[in-house]
Each structure stands twice: as C-alpha cells, then as structure tokens.
Structure 1
C-alpha cells in the first residue's frame, strides 16, 4: 500500500501548545495557520482534535478555548509561561519563555534542543536573588546585554525560574523552538488531554 507523506496533516506537540496559547482569544483558521506556519489542512485537523477533546469552541468570529481549555492553559502556565516576543536578536524575531521549578539541566543540552528545532540561536538564563544570570558562571545578563535584560523585566519572574530565549529567521520557528525546550524538560507533567492531541 503506498501513500504520500505530504497528504497527511502534520503537527507536533509544540504546535498544539502554541495553539492553546493563541486561542485564549478567538482566532480564525487562516490566522492560526500564518502564526504557526502550518498548512491549513494541518490546522483544520488540529482544531478538530482540540474540539473533539472539548478544549475549544467555535463561533462565527473564530475558535477559542472552552472552560475546559482555559483550565488546561492554567495547568500549562504552572509549568511554563507563554513565549513573549522580545526585541530582535541578530536581526531575527526572538521569544522568551519562563520554565518554573526546572529539573536539573545543562545549558548546552537545552541550546542544542532549540537549535535542533529550527532556532538559529538560544540563550539559557536563570533568575536568582533578583537577578537574571548565566547559570554557568553567574554573570548578570544586564552586564552583557542590557537591552534584553530590560525587556525581560516585564516578565513575571520568580526565584529559580529558568529563562529560555530563542531566535530564528521565521517568527513561528523562534516561538516553537522556545516551547520545544520547555517540553523537553516538562513534557511528562503536561495535562493528559494536551498529549492526546498528537497521539
């Protein structure tokens, strides 16, 4: 039996989580497709699965999270934050994301994961004693990259938070590579319904 891989809608867990963040507000299929850089067929399947799990509702103005979906979003937010766009790095779109109560990690492994997932570059930082620092040597970010440090101060930082910054030529790749790093550390704690979307 032959089949064409391209005929199958393809999306990953990163797309599912990004879609949940996006659907806090009503969005049309075309807008989701553009923001996630996913084909409309894949977006249609993704929305169908989210709807089947009763995580979203749809109206004329678009698709949005249901009560159950909002509950799952809260559970995700207790693990890691929604990626926030920050100022460009190396002229590329960049996103920052906070991972709460991170397990032990090696910065190099997390950077490698981000780059494996289409990021052009990644920075791994921690928030300790009121400062954003590089975990390897305790260097404060504000000493080397004051503009980025200032940008990050708008985030709701908590002691011990891990900060992941990723950048890529495509906005969707920068966004999803940050989520990918969060999933690399926290996938096992995700709500079951979210994992079911890709199973």
Structure 2
C-alpha cells in the first residue's frame, strides 16, 4: 500500500478567493503565504490547483491572473467587491460590499465571522444611500466616519461586511467567509472547482 508522506496541505475556499483578490499585482508564493498566514506547502498546492484550472499563470515576477482568472474575478465581483482594508478600534479589519444580498440576520453572520477567527464583525446595509446598522438604521458614519470615507461603489440594498481580527489575514478571510455565506448560491462554478 502506497502512503503519502507528510501532512496534506489544506486550504479553504476563502483562501482561494483571497488569493484571486491579492493577485491584482503579481506576487510570489512566499508573499502569498505571508499575507494569508498559510504554510508554503499549502500555498504551493493552492497555486498548482489555480494554475491547472487556468485561473493563474506565473512568470519570474510572480503569479498573476490569466484572462480566465480576470473573467472569474469579474464574476466574483458581481456577488461581492474586492475587500477594502480598514481598522476597527485599532484592530486590522476588512470591509466587503455584498451586492443584492438575500435577507440575513446580522447576529448569525457575525457569529460565522467569529467562528472563522474574527474578533468581531458588523453586517450593515445601504438604505437611502447611507450605510446603516439594519437593527436600528443608525448610520455607520456616527461611529466610524473613517471607514465610511474608504467605502465606494455601494448601491441601495447592498450589504457591507466588516470583520476585524488579531491579524489582517484572519480579518480578510473572516470577511470573505461571511460574503461567501451570503452569496453561496451565486458563486461561479469554476471557483468551487478550486476546493474540489
């Protein structure tokens, strides 16, 4: 019986999506591993899978999105936009604008972010062109005006996920996780191939 040696590298759908977002500019495997807090073996496996699916290519300058990868990113952006780095009470955080979300319970989504290593999360909505807490329609700008200044391209009815954590990588993946849960029925099939 043949046995493979060593631990099998594992990555999540959130790691794959984060990698696609990170590859706006070419990056090396080590840079990706550092930004996502993954082992280099895991990143090697993830990059190989993305490459085999034709989503990324590589050159001396690093890995990059192919035409197919760029098209996939456009499809992802139909569900949610690229994460925006922000800060919440000194914690590293990321905000993601989720397009036309289904009905949601912000407490349940916040709990999902926490299960995914976030320290906390806010799930907001856009109402009357303003980012508000859905429970009481209190504007985000009253509490976090600096975050509101960084957010652009949101539309009426969009949701905005903001997750914060001990590290930027954990905050990024927690925010992506909540966006994935909200839009799981709209994710492109080729994206799901990455984790099969």
**Where on the TM-score scale, by shorter chain, does this alignment land: which range?**
over 0.9
Gaps of 5+ in 2: none
1:20-169 matches, cutoff 5 A = 20-86=20-86, 88-152=87-151, 155-169=152-166
Structure 1 pair 6–98 and aligned structure 2 pair: CA distance change class (3 A)? farther
Gaps of 5+ in 1: none
Is the CA contact 1:28–1:62 (under 8 Å) kept in the aligned structure 2? Answer: yes
Q: TM-score, normalised by structure 1?
A: 0.93
Match in the other structure for 1:178: 175
* Structure 1 residue 151: Cα displacement: 3.2
Cα RMSD (Å): 1.8
Indicate the larger mover: 10-19 or 130-139.
130-139
Deviation at 1:132, TM superposition (A): 1.0
- How many residue pairs align between the two structures? 196
1:193 corresponds, among 185, 190, 194, to: 190
Dislocated runs of 4+, deviation >3 Å: 3-6
Return the alpha-carbon distance in structure 2 between the equivalents of residues 90 and 97 of structure 1: 18
Q: Write out per-residue CA displacement over residues 116-168 of structure 1, whole angstroms, 9 at most, x where no aligned residue.
A: 1000010111111111111011111122333333333xx21111110010100
* TM-score of the superposed pair, with normalisation by structure 2: 0.95
